[in-house]
Amino acid sequence: MVRLIFSLILLWLLTACTTSVLAPTSQLVEKAIAFELEQTQQQLNQQLDLDIQGFEIHRLSMTQQTPLTIENLPTYRIQGTYNLTFKLPKRRLTQAQKPFEVYLQLQTEGKTWRLLVPEGSDKDSKSVWHSYFLQ
């Protein structure tokens, strides 16, 4: 009986450690969203001659994490919402409950993550991915 309890505790600890190490953190998801926003912000500044002086991400909520495999590496499709505040010269503009969807891929060595972005706007054909180093 003692062996069984000890085995169950050990199995629970191993499972808990494995899950927490492999699953992306909210800080990593926020970093991925910030990367995508920076790319969009640069394009908007150029096209619309805006003076956006930065942004802040608040209240990130991950509502769904779906594990999958892309190019033989573990990947997570993460969905949720966040609040976004743009810093403008004379005011701040806040957008609440903005939905997001990011794909984060754990690299072979298990220490770094990459943001995957599907090529083109057709999210149904995810055969070609652009990959960006996050951490």
Could you list the pLDDT tens digit for every one of the 135 residues in the chain?
666 565 556 555 554 444 445 789 999 999 999 999 988 877 777 777 777 778 899 999 999 999 999 999 999 999 999 999 988 888 888 999 999 999 999 998 888 999 999 987 555 555 789 999 997
Q: How far apart are CA 37 and CA 98, in angstroms?
A: 12
Report yes or no on 36 lying in a domain. yes
Domain region containing 50: 24-120+128-133
Helix (H) or strand (E) holding 79: strand 73-87
Total domains, the chain: 1
Dist CA 105 CA 77 (whole Å): 9
* pLDDT attached to residue 69: 93
Q: What pLDDT, on a 0 to 100 scale, did the predictor assign at position 52?
A: 76
The whole-number pLDDT of residue 27 equals: 95
**Does residue 100 lie in a domain region?**
yes
Residue 49, in any domain of the structure: yes
Give the pLDDT score at 9. 63
pLDDT value of residue 17: 46
In a domain, 58, yes or no: yes
Domain annotation covers residue 6 = no
134 SS3 class: coil
Report how far apart, in Å, the C-alpha atoms of 81 and of each of 10, 18, 35, 78, 102 are. Answer: 35, 26, 16, 10, 11
pTM value? 0.74
Question: What is the maximal distance between C-alpha atoms in the chain?
Answer: 71
Rounded Cα distance between 71 and 109, Å, is 15
Residue 72: what pLDDT?
92
For residue 70, being part of any structural domain is answered with yes
Q: Which residues contact 38 (CB under 8 A, 6 or more apart)?
A: none
Specify whether the CB–CB gap between 118 and 129 falls below 8 A. yes
Indicate whether 11 belongs to any domain.
Answer: no
Nearest CA-CA partner of 89 in 38, 49, 42, 33 = 49
81 domain-assigned: yes
